[in-house]
């Protein structure tokens, strides 16, 4: 009987710990959503259009990013007279990348598409994560610069795994990391977010984004203009016919 009571007590303790863990994850995510503008604001966003300056290969170049929620995400820029395009849709991806020997639209490699398709969701995988079938695990706290950030491991239904770091003071995502393949080699891609600003409808975005590709390349981006719910033709994401 004593062993039975001990076993039952252990089970109840484990249930309590798991329950507390779930509540802690939900509390962090709820505060993150609120810090981004709140569910009501995010739920009203259908499109985002952004202009930015990108530093790449020793040059600074203007770029545009167009997002149609759940349907399309496209970034376009020109470097030294060469056009670069990355486009993700709910059906697949395509790109124009002169660095890889292509000056015409080409289907995107699977690993690159898998990593980039997360950007189709304007709210991100944490927004309404349970409804999306996303699993989130709190892995304690870890230093990101001077911030002892919450570390959340996120697993999507299509096997994407991303680690997000959330500032416990602001509840903004200040860093994200994902493992992928870059130029044929497996790398850990780390993106750091800062300079958060509010758009005209109350949605808050980072205006400074720095992506590091496993130490091989660093790409800082500065957002200069944001338009929310601008009319966007879905055909803008179609791969041009050759």
**64-108 pLDDT per residue, tens:** 999 999 999 999 999 888 899 999 999 999 999 887 767 899 999
Residue 139 neighbours by CB distance under 10 Å: 10
Q: What is the pLDDT of the chain when averaged over all its residues?
A: 88
- Output phi, psi for 237, to 5 deg: -100, 0
The pLDDT value recorded for residue 183 is: 63
Distance CA 98, CA 104 (A): 8
- Is 112's pLDDT higher than 60? yes
User: Which residue ranges form the domains of the chain, and what is each CATH number?
Assistant: 2-76+111-228 (2.50.20)
Q: Angle at the Cα of 48 (from 241 to 39), degrees rounded to 5?
A: 135
pLDDT band at 231 (very low <50, low <70, confident <90, very high): very high
The pLDDT value recorded for residue 11 is: 39
**20-76 pLDDT per residue, tens:** 343 489 999 999 999 999 999 999 999 999 999 999 877 899 999 999 999 999 999
Give the H or E element holding residue 175: strand 173-182
Handedness of CA 66, 64, 53, 55 (dihedral sign): positive
The pLDDT value recorded for residue 100 is: 73
| Whole-number percent of the chain with pLDDT over 70 | 88
- Is 141's pLDDT higher than 50? yes
- Is 134's pLDDT higher than 70? yes
pLDDT band at 142 (very low <50, low <70, confident <90, very high): very high
- The mean pLDDT value for 115-140 works out to 94
pLDDT band at 182 (very low <50, low <70, confident <90, very high): low
pLDDT band at 116 (very low <50, low <70, confident <90, very high): confident
- The mean pLDDT value for 185-199 works out to 92
């Amino acid at each position: 009987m004593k062993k039975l009571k001990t076993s039952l007590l252990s089970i109840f303790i484990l249930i309590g710990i798991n329950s507390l863990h779930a509540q802690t994850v939900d509390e962090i995510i709820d505060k993150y959503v609120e810090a981004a503008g709140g569910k009501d604001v995010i739920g009203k966003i259908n499109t985002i259009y952004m202009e930015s300056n990108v530093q790449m290969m020793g040059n600074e170049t203007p770029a545009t990013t167009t997002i149609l929620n759940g349907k399309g995400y496209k970034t376009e820029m020109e470097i030294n007279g060469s056009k670069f395009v990355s486009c993700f849709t709910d059906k697949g991806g395509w790109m124009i990348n002169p660095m890889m020997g292509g000056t015409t639209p080409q289907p995107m490699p699977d690993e690159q598409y898998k990593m980039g398709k997360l950007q189709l969701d304007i709210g991100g995988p944490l927004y309404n994560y349970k409804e999306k079938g996303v699993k989130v695990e709190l892995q304690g706290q870890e230093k990101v610069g001077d911030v002892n950030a919450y570390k959340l491991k996120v697993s999507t239904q299509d096997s994407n795994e991303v680690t997000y770091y959330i500032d416990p003071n602001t509840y903004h995502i200040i860093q994200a990391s994902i493992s992928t393949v870059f130029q044929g080699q497996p790398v850990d891609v780390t993106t750091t977010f800062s300079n958060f600003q509010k758009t005209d409808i109350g949605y808050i975005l980072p205006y400074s984004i720095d992506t590091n590709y496993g130490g091989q390349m660093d790409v800082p981006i500065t957002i200069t203009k944001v338009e929310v719910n601008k009319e966007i033709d879905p055909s803008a994401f179609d791969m041009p016919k050759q």
